[in-house]
Amino acid sequence: MNEQHAHEEHGMSNAGYVRIALILAAITALEVSTYYVDFGPLFMPALMVMMVVKFVTVVSYFMHLKFDRRLFSVMFYAGLFLAIFVYAAALSTFKFFIA
């Protein structure tokens, strides 16, 4: 019972979830549009931002991380940032990020 109460406190309504899903769909459409429309120098930054926004949105809302114990966020983001750091460093030694 405790658990159910807590869940309703932190959870969103179904309508809220549908709203988020529609936003994600819209961002996806925008992402795909970069394939057809020339964004110029904004191409990479726009795509990266959209990817990150979708990623964080799903993690924070669908996976509930925003409303849950901070411990979960720490565990997950620790793994994520470690992965980004380590692999970016490795790719750097291959001069991957140098144009």
Partner 1 sequence: MAIIERPSAPATVPAIPSASLGALKRPVSTQHGWRSWLFTVDHKRLGLMYGATALFFFVVGGLEAVLIRLQLALPDGRVLNADLYNQMFTMHATTMVFLFVMPMVSAFANYFIPLQVGARDVAFPRINAFGFWAFLFGGIFLNLAWFLGGAADGGWFMYAPNSGPVFSPSHGVDFWALGLQITGIASLTGAVNLIVTVLNMRAPGMSLMKMPIFTWMATVVQFLLLFAMPVITVALFLLMFQRNFGATFFDVGAGADPLLWQHLFWIFGHPEVYILILPSFGIISEVLPVFARKPLFGYPFVVFSGAAIGFVGWGVWAHHMFASGLGPVSVAVFSVATMAIAVPTGVKVVNWTMTLWGGKLWFTVAMKFAIALIVLFTIGGLSGVTHAVAPSDTQQTDTYYIVAHFHYVLFGGAIFGIFSGMYYWWPKMFGKMLSERIGNWNFWLMAIGMNLTFGPMHILGLQGQPRRMYIWTEARAGEGFFNLAFWNLVASIGSIILAVGVLFFFVNVLVTARKGKQAPLDPWDARSLEWMTSNPPKEHNFDSIPTVGHLDEFFHRKYAEDHQSGEIRKVKEAEEVLAELERNKDAHIHMPSPSYWPIVLALGLPVIAFGLIYSIPVALVGGVIVVLGCFGWAIEPSTARDDEVDPPSAASAEVVRHG
Partner 2 sequence: MAEAAQEHGAQHGSTGISNIKLGMWLFLGSECLLFGGLISTYMLYRGRVGEGPTPMQIFDIPFTSVSSFVLLMSSLTMVLAVSAAAKRDDRSAVLWLTVTALLGATFVGGQVYEFTAFYNEGLGFSTSLFSSSFYVLTGFHGVHVTVGIIMLLALVAMIRRNRIPGSKSETVEMIGLYWHFVDIVWIVIFTLIYLIPV
Indicate which single residue of 32, 82, 84, 88 sits in contact with partner 1 (rule: CB under 8 A): 82
Tell me whether residue 32 or residue 83 sits nearer to partner 1 (CB atom). 83
**Closest to 12 measured CA to CA, from 65, 52, 49:** 65
Rounded to an integer, what distance in angstroms lies between the CA atom of residue 99 and that of residue 93? 14
**Binding track over 64-93 against partner 2, x by CB under 8 A:** x----x-xx--xxxxxx-xxx-xx--xx--
30 touches partner 2 by CB under 8 A? no
Give the residue carrying structure tokens 């990020």.
97
Rounded to an integer, what distance in angstroms lies between the CA atom of residue 28 and that of residue 41? 20
Rounded to an integer, what distance in angstroms lies between the CA atom of residue 50 and that of residue 45? 9
DSSP 72: H
**Binding track over 16-55 against partner 1, x by CB under 8 A:** ----------------------------------------
Indicate which single residue of 34, 37, 45, 99 sits in contact with partner 2 (rule: CB under 8 A): 34
